[in-house]
Amino acid sequence: MKRLAGSYENKIDSKGRVSVPKPFRAYFDAQGSDLIYIFPSFQQPAIEGCGEGYLDRLQDRIDGLDMYSETQADFALLTIGQALPLSFDPEGRVTLPRDMREAIGLTDSAMFVGQGDRFLIWEPSAGQAARDAAINRIRTNGATLPQRSSS
């Protein structure tokens, strides 16, 4: 699998364990990793998830900011500083920390939404509301993707 794509809803058990979607596990397996990183999204009520490669690229972008600037410190604090490594158990599950679950209202199920090289974990109704809002913004603003020149 070349990218994290699709949306999946999985149950959360009483210990906070949730099965990472099989296609997502295949993506990380193809990268030679049984580890993901999660951190609270600072843009929306969700948890961001990624692999080592994405975290490395994020660190590079943060390192490109002015050292010791407020912006650099904020991004480092909100991403790298909160990133928590999680390993898959034999059933492909990870345990989501209680504080992260409570912050976004996760109780009995979680929606995993692929974003290419990262993913989001939503409380399912909040994830659907975010999707609906995105559709409305795109339609209202007439947003399009830039065309790539063929080479």
Mean pLDDT of 16-21: 98
> Residues 56-66: pLDDT tens digits?
999 999 999 99
Helix or strand or coil: residue 16?
A: coil
Fold of 7-141: Chemotaxis protein chec (3.40.1550)
What is this structure's pTM? 0.93
Model confidence pLDDT, tens digit, residues 81-130: 999 999 999 999 999 999 999 999 999 999 999 999 999 999 999 999 99
The SS3 of residue 29 is helix
Q: Identity (one letter) of the amino acid at 149? A: S
Q: 3-state DSSP call for residue 109?
A: strand
